[in-house]
A = this chain, B = another copy of it.
Amino acid sequence: MSNNRPTGQQTLPNMPTHPTQTDRDAAPVAPAPRAGANVVPIRREALKVACSSCNLRELCLPVGLSDGEMQRLDTLVESRRSLRRGESLYTFGEVFKSLYAVRTGFFKTRVAAADGRDQVTGFQMTGELLGFDGIGTERHTCDAVALEDSQVCVIPFAQLEALSRQFGELQRQLHKVMSREIVRDHGVMLLLGSMRAEERLAAFLLNLTQRLQARGFSGSSLVLRMTREEIGSYLGLKLETVSRAFSKFQDEGVLEVKQRQLRVLNEDALRQLVSGTVC
């Protein structure tokens, strides 16, 4: 075994450029709130963040912006917020004011039903945007929870709208991101509506590795940030079923599974299982 250092709190496996310590430059101005507590944990950093110098600019909202446009975007994204594992970035019913861009860390979003059932609607990693659910009603309609210590850029939405009225390219980019979110949801609906357990898990893993690869990671070796139960909730399965599917993949030599450490041994086998997914 080459790479089994359980480094406690890594942000992502083999992160090429980022520090593994998310809180390095974050002043702990508030005591760590309990996870799930409904008080909004205030921990903002006024320190200047520039999209134009962010190494995520090719993944995040600024994609395709000119230098001038990006500098204007900089004036808008002026604060960050750090969250500890388990903290909520926002919760259902909270007034919507901002979108958030994940700088480091990992999130899940979930909707809750009245009777306690809930459904994970997505996992968000570095460079992905959160909060679109709140625009329609001006209140958030789901919870966003950090699955590890994380940091987000705060993007005040009213200002983003104002700026995107000036810059067509920014406007276009915003619309594209929202549209892709809709398309992604349709893909999940297809998955939930018509695939069987192993197909779902295969689709999930392929999606995950693809996104990790887009961020410079290996794509064959990864560490899951979420529990079997959270995967199950996302895929419409029980945690036992997820576990069994992992074991089956391992037996078949498709995957190497050590708790949350995964290695994809036969990507084609996964791909074959889902030869049915759109895009």
Contacts and interface: CB of A to CB of B under 8 A. Distances in A.
A210 interface: no
A35 to B, nearest CB: 22
B182 A113 contact: no
Interface in A194-236: 194, 233-236
Interface stretch (A80-88, A170-178, A250-258): A170-178
Contact of A190 (B113, B137, B175, B176): B113
Interface string A123-153: 0000000001111110001100000000000
B175 A161 contact: yes
Number of copies of this chain in the oligomer? 2
Interface stretch (A12-20, A24-32, A270-278): A270-278
B135 A175 contact: yes
Point out which of A175, A189, A275, A279 has the most chain B C-beta atoms below 10 A from its C-beta: A189
B276 A179 contact: no
A142 B119 CA distance: 24
